[in-house]
Amino acid sequence: MMRITEFKELIRNLPYDQHSFDVKRKNWIVPSQQQVIDSIFADKDVISLNRHHLHNSNFDLDTFILKTLMWGYPTRGRGNNLNNILKKRNFVFLIEILEDYRDNEVFIEKMESDIKQIRGLGLSTMTKFTNFLNTTINGNKALILDNRIIEAINKDCFIELEHLKGISISNGIKRYPEYLETINQLAKQIESEPEQIELFLFMFGRNLSELIGDNGK
């Protein structure tokens, strides 16, 4: 097994705030939210959103929610989860919920309860909101936990994450505080930002393996 600390120089130099995705206007035709969406695109057919944009949009929750969803799901994804979140009633309710999260400490029990209140809202999406709203969960800075990071953890490549093996979308909310504590402590150890470790796992976690000789040792 490898250690995340072996990659500390790479991690410390990852430009996490510039991590971006291109979003096409044609994928974001949503009548219930079209006025705000049109203001985000302005006169462009394609925009590029990065993490820095999202951190700087959180003063306006209408815009923040839509930009975060665009960044996280540029093509709006499959299924009806986003469509349910974007319904006017759910969207207004989500704004009310997230008002309590911005620059605040929140306990995991509240987060779990709030996720259950809006159909279509899951752990991956909620952790994007909490990260960009500078939320602290059970004393640790909130970070994104999505399928790619879960796959990286369960690949069982990194000694520091071995105790998290078995985490999944279904049990992720219960284990989220443990994940946050692990990544935040690692960030202090290697003197990086927690988001840099999260981005490292997102970008490289599923595609790294140990160097071994021709004899398999």
pLDDT tens, residue by residue, 46-82? 999 999 999 998 889 999 999 999 999 999 877 789 9
pLDDT of residue 38: 96
Token pair for 46:
């394609």
Is the pLDDT score of 212 beyond 70? no
Residue 60, classed as helix, strand or coil, is coil
Token pair for 216:
């398999």
Sheet of 105-106: strand order equals 105-106, 136-137, 140-141
Domain count, the chain: 1
Residue 209 belongs to a domain: no
Q: What does pTM read for this prediction?
A: 0.93
Token pair for 58:
């959180």
Residue 16 belongs to a domain: yes
pLDDT of residue 211: 66
Dist CA 94 CA 114 (whole Å): 9
Residue 24 belongs to a domain: yes
3-state SS of the chain: helix, strand, coil percent to 5? 60, 10, 35
Tell me the per-residue pLDDT of 102-144, one tens digit each, with 9 for 90 and over: 999 999 999 999 999 999 999 999 999 999 999 999 999 999 9
pLDDT bucket at 213, cuts 50 / 70 / 90: low
Dist CA 56 CA 68 (whole Å): 11
How many helices (H) and strands (E) the chain has is answered by 11, 5
Residue 35 belongs to a domain: yes
pLDDT bucket at 214, cuts 50 / 70 / 90: low
Domain ranges, residue 50: 4-204
pLDDT of residue 77: 74
Token pair for 173:
């909310």
Q: Mean pLDDT for the chain?
A: 93
Residue 118, classed as helix, strand or coil, is coil
Residue 161 belongs to a domain: yes
Instruction: Give the list of residues 6+ apart from residue 139 with CB closer than 8 angstroms, or none.
Output: 105, 181
